[in-house]
Amino acid sequence: MLFPLRTFHPRRCVLLAIAAAALTANLHADEVTDWNQIMLQAAHTAGNGSTTASRSAAIVEVSVFDAVNGINCLYEPLHVTGRAPRDASAPAAAIQAAYVSLVSLYPTQVSTFDAARTTSLNALQNTSGSWWEQQMRLRSINDGVAWGQEVANQILAWRSTDGFTPAPAPFIGGTSVGEWRPTPPAFAPGVAPQFAYMTPWVIQYPSQFRPAGPPALTSARYTQDFNETELMGRLTSTVRTADETAYAQFWNGATPIYEWNSVALYLGSQRHMSLLKNARLFAELNVAIADATIAMWDAKYHYVAWRPITAVTLADTDGNLLTTPDPAWVPLITTPAHPEYPSAHSGQSSAAATVLAHFFGSSSSFIVASDGQPGVVRSFSSFSSALDEVANARVFGGIHFRFSTQDAQASGTAVGKYVVENAFQRQDRRDYDDDDIDE
């Protein structure tokens, strides 16, 4: 089988479950975006939570970026510093890098990945031209596949020592006033405490952007935010609007990697970006989310703050005469099994929005999709308006306090800015768009 070299393949596509019926616009796809969608579907099929999904997405997208960039050599690589064989196919390298990463991360889905790889490589087939031209094309594809394999193997080896495994002993918090402990209905131990000390991707160390901590339980700020969550976040709230209920459930229905990668796919499709620029976009986006996850988990397991369901039911113990206990209080959304402060979703979303604003502009209009509610989307006129809704969703869902979302937004923005300023830089440091470069 002969495979020709190409840089990208324009066609109409539907973004798997991401697009559903709502995204019917013409989309400009290539091997990078195709395998980004395959990655998102794999994480959804595996039932990954936001923590594990953030690590897996970064591994896949960094492998793809370093593979494609190792052929173009326009940007500083994130990890793999070698160069591909001369004339290696960048699309083939992207396919193989994503494939190898996904097989390692989700081995039970290997048959799906095998079929996707065959389809992707067959799409490169072109038997036109002379016998010699066909042989040169085949060599280019084979070299690209070999290079993608090498890069992915190096990324997987690098991250195999990042602290993700072995998992530590179950974390059950404590019973002191204000301290997190397992919450109903599952009363599960804290999720993924190892993310609090995992090796970051770009930021220097997990606590680099650690927020200052929740306010004192007797403070005016705590009182105000406690009362807001108690009122707006209860399951049976009569002041929360139907739309507020809907978007609290919407943002809770998918992981941040799904939500914000869907935004990147949507915005990128309107700009007909090159293969390399797509590779850079998805690597930078998912690394920022992964580092924000580590930063949020560092703070969560440092401060170990109780969740609203604990705070409200035990308010008679907090020393605050202005907070009223309600033993029967239940939140709209089931409380996640990890400490409250800061809000991980707000931090991850702010890091993602910072990267996307860098690529597309802060006032970009876009829609967000959720794999938890296929076919349902939310529309926004700017990244700030989306982040405001994310914060409200966590408060109105009854799982966070307002101070937690605001502090998380500040930390997540700092993480995203650090990634933008310290990674994926042009090697020549020139300030022009890579779409002007013939790849």
Rounded Cα–Cα distance for residues 64 and 36 (Å): 10
Range of weakest confidence among 1-10, 76-85, 379-388: 1-10
- Residue 406 predicted with pLDDT over 90: yes
Residue 227 CA to residue 239 CA, distance in Å, equals 13
CA distance 278 to 249: 30
Spell out the alpha helix ranges (H) of 14-89: 16-19, 31-46, 50-72
pLDDT in tens, 297-323: 999 999 999 999 999 999 999 999 999
Examine the pLDDT at 330 and tell me if it is beyond 80: yes
CB 411 within 8 A of CB 209: yes
Domains of the chain plus CATH, in order, are 16-163 (1.20.144), 193-422 (1.10.606.20)
Which pLDDT band, with edges at 50, 70 and 90, does 429 fall under?
low
Q: Record the tokens describing residue 183, joined without a space.
A: 């919450």
Maximum alpha-carbon separation in the chain? 85
Q: What integer pLDDT is reported at residue 7 of this predicted model? A: 29
DSSP state of 318: S
Q: How confident is the model at residue 333 (pLDDT cuts 50, 70, 90)?
A: very high
On the question of pLDDT at 61 being above 90, the answer is yes
Percent of the chain past pLDDT 70, that is, above it, reads 91
Flag whether pLDDT at 234 surpasses 90. Answer: yes
Closest CA to 285 of 351, 201, 368, 232: 351
User: Which two structure tokens, joined as six digits, stand for 14?
Assistant: 């539907």
Asked if 407 contacts 296 with a C-beta cutoff of 8 angstroms, the reply is: no
Encoding tokens for residue 23? 């995204």
| Mean pLDDT, residues 186-195 taken together | 98
Q: What mean pLDDT, rounded, does the chain reach?
A: 91
User: Computed from CA positions of residues 76, 79, 83, 87, in that sequence, does the dihedral angle turn out positive or negative?
Assistant: negative
